[in-house]
Amino acid sequence: MLVDPATPRGRALISRFESVFSKPSPNTLECELKPLDPSLTFSFRFETGFYLKLPLYQLDPSGAQLVAVTSFRPAFGGGAPTYFYQTSRVPKFPTPVIHSSITGELGGGFYIGPGHYEVRWLLEDNRANHCSFRWTIRHRLSLRESKQPQPLASNTVTPLVVEGWSERKQEGRRFRVAILLHAAPLRWWSVALHPFDRSLLASALVAVLEKTAVQEASVSAFNLNQQLDLFHTRNLDRSEFLRLMGRLEELQLGTIGLNVLRNPKGAGTLLDGMLQRALNEPELPDAVVVIGPPTLIEDEPPARALRERAGSRLPYFAYFHLAPGSVQWRDGIEKFMKRVRGNVFHIRRAADLARAIGELEDRLARRREGR
């Protein structure tokens, strides 16, 4: 969130932040921070941010309150800094159980315009222990990018907010699509769905909804690692979209329940249920589109059971495999797509998503024409 210096809360945050950096002192919290280079999101905005790992043994075992403040300032021209903050709560935990190797995660993200920035970052807990970092960002546009309209002016930073959906009704929309959103972190080892991850999922979903001739979309959200059925709506509208975003923000991935450990094949069963629900709607969808990052789970639902439920003609299946900047592998969803003759699109950048949406639109049109 943006810090408002006109409020008492904002002035207090800025004062404490500047006092730490004006009188440098050793960090009293051990933490590891990794800045993220600017990258183009699927909504064609440049995004930057950070990932943090923090050993939990250092925190208040009765429950810790964390406040992170980030400052961006143009490296040249003497502009005033812009401050952002976020808060987190670590619940009570048994001190003897927490080993020094057990860490918590925190992530943050920002939209950024072209420029050269000096970044300062501070994390402080409720016992006034802190860690701080400095780094610089040089965000330069390529020749091709510089010829395109930019949503943000140079030396401008704004909070990373989940992409909205306008729900504009357009003439000529005629397709019904079932979308299955895999709500998982981009980094498979992460134990949290960070703002960066939520923005990635939301921008991909919004792009599919707005760039294709979809008249009606059922949407389900799930997490395979946790075997969670998170969300379902038979017809996504603005209010349901906001409810979906709320469910993603509430998602906790730090622990795995005993019911999951006792059911190692549960992920495949969950995905099978998602697909069956999509195919058991009163009107069969023209396409079933899975959107999400790769998963380590290799279980796949039985294609034969799906064919029995849908009849001799299945919908068109597609997997929008989101993996910008990460290693790709053939997971259980991709294996299933091959069995039902669906398409897998490995999406690393916005241009890949645009090509995948174009192919989806073409397949839908050919299907309606009986080809």
Percent of the chain, pLDDT > 90? Answer: 32
| Alpha-carbon separation of residue 216 from 211, 285, 349, 358, 359 (angstroms) | 13, 9, 26, 18, 19
Percent of the chain having pLDDT more than 70? 85
The pLDDT of residue 309 is 61
What mean pLDDT comes out for the span 101-116? Answer: 87
Mean of the per-residue pLDDT values of the chain: 84
pLDDT value of position 304: 59
Higher-confidence position of 233 and 331: 233
Cα 106 to chain center, whole Å? Answer: 14
pTM: 0.73
Interatomic CA distance for residues 318 and 179, integer angstroms: 10
Q: Is 264 exposed, middle or buried (0-12, 13-18, 19+ CB in 10 A)?
A: exposed
Tell me the pLDDT tens digit for each residue of 4-46.
999 999 999 999 999 999 887 788 899 999 998 888 777 778 8
Of 337, 298, 301, 302, nearest to 321 (Cα)?
337
pLDDT of residue 63: 85
Instruction: Check residues 260 and 72 and name the one with the higher pLDDT.
Output: 72
Whether the per-residue pLDDT at 319 is higher than 90: the answer is yes
Q: Which residue has the tokens 């916005």?
A: 350
Q: What is the dihedral of CA 307, 311, 313, 318, to 10 degrees?
A: -40
pLDDT tens readout for residues 114-143: 999 999 999 999 999 999 999 999 998 888
pLDDT of residue 120: 96
Report the sign of the C-alpha dihedral through residues 54, 58, 63, 69, in that order. negative
Of 225, 193, 191, 248, nearest to 56 by C-alpha is 191
Distance of CA 207 to the CA centre of its chain: 14
Evaluate if residue 80 carries a pLDDT over 80: yes
pLDDT over 90 at 252, yes or no? no
